[in-house]
Amino acid sequence: VQLQASGGGLVQAGGSLRLSCTASGGTFRNYVVGWFRQAPGKEREFVAAIKWNSRHTRYGDSVKGRFTISRDNAENTVALQMNSLKPEDTAVYYCAAGRSIITSAQTMAAQYDYWGQGTQVTVSS
């Protein structure tokens, strides 16, 4: 499965962006799809995850109430709607997919098998 992340850009604080993760060479069926981010000099951080089959979602504490992950109507696409963006949200955002990841492990990058190339999100103050 190849993943393609898109939708990043430059936005002012308080603004919104919508990221998309599209799979090719396979489907997201039976996968957990997650978003992670990494800012310069920092470790990769869990942002959100969704179980494709059940649509069960999970969020990192720093984005709860502001970000929404969803299974887009387009086949094999997962979206991350980011609202009320803050400068500290600035990072490269990666989508990832993994099979049979239990709920308690969805925040762990090592559990994911496939990664997209990342898309830059920059929030100006």
Provide the b/e sequence for 64-98 (b: ≥16 CB within 10 Å).
eeebbbebeeeebbbbbebeebeeebbbbbbbbbb
105: number of Cβ within 10 Å:
14
User: Per residue in 38-81, pLDDT tens?
Assistant: 999 999 999 999 998 777 899 999 999 999 999 875 568 999 99
In this predicted structure, what is the pLDDT of residue 73? 57
User: Per residue in 86-124, pLDDT tens?
Assistant: 999 999 999 999 987 888 889 999 999 999 999 999 999
- CA separation for the pair 19, 21 (Å, rounded): 7
